[in-house]
Amino acid sequence: MTEATKIPGWVAGTWVIDPIHSEIGFSVRHLMVSKVRGRFEKFEGEIVTGEDILDTRATVTVDLTSINTGNQDRDNDLRSADYLEVDKYPTMTYRSTGLKPDGDAYIADGELTIRETTHPLQLRVEFHGIGPDPWGGTRAGLSATGEINRKDFGISFDIPMDGGGLVVGEKIQLHLEIEAVLQQ
């Protein structure tokens, strides 16, 4: 029995991420007492599934200029050279390199590139299912989570706080809700 037989409706093929029904978001500690959340409004990606789910690979490109935390001043600050430097590095990319079982979920090994710096990134992936859509197509859904350290990608601007800690934390939590459409 392959891993794919555990998911009803599993099919090998090429899937395109539907950005209208998907979200790529993040959260980061702020002032050491709360978390600020944000998302990227523009992104694209492709998932290629094999006969066995463990042969699945994905690529995603995110338009960093589309960052949205609900506060224009903060968004502009994050786009600046202090953080993402979007004028010079307008995108980040993720490319998976492998998939392995992890209980009821999976771990996707991959590489994340931000500001022309690439580091390994593991995402914990939960598949939600595959099924028909009202337009005669087939859709798949999944959630993925991971964590990066912004300093690994050269985002080292810090504002220290009295008594210790930083205004913006080093660890960034990534949250993805993906709906993808099987290509014919």
pLDDT, tens digit (0-9, with 9 covering 90-100), for 12-59: 999 999 999 999 999 987 666 668 899 999 999 999 999 999 999 999
Say if 2 falls within a structural domain: no
State residue 166's pLDDT score.
47
Say if 49 falls within a structural domain: no
Interior angle at CA 104, CA 94 and CA 51, nearest 5: 65
Q: N- to C-terminal Cα distance for the chain?
A: 26
Residue matched to tokens 């202090």: 82
pLDDT exceeds cutoff 50 at 123 = yes
Q: Which residues, at least 6 apart from 103, have a Cβ–Cβ distance to it below 8 Å?
A: none
pLDDT, tens digit (0-9, with 9 covering 90-100), for 63-97: 999 999 999 998 999 999 988 999 999 999 999 99
Domain range for residue 169? Answer: 23-43+58-135+142-179
Number of domains in the chain: 1
Say if 81 falls within a structural domain: yes
pTM (2 decimals)? 0.90
Say if 4 falls within a structural domain: no
pLDDT exceeds cutoff 60 at 5 = no
**Residue 101's CATH number:** 2.40.128.110
Say if 17 falls within a structural domain: no
Say if 11 falls within a structural domain: no
User: What is the average pLDDT value for the chain, to the nearest integer?
Assistant: 90
Q: Are 128 and 88 in contact (CB under 8 A)?
A: no
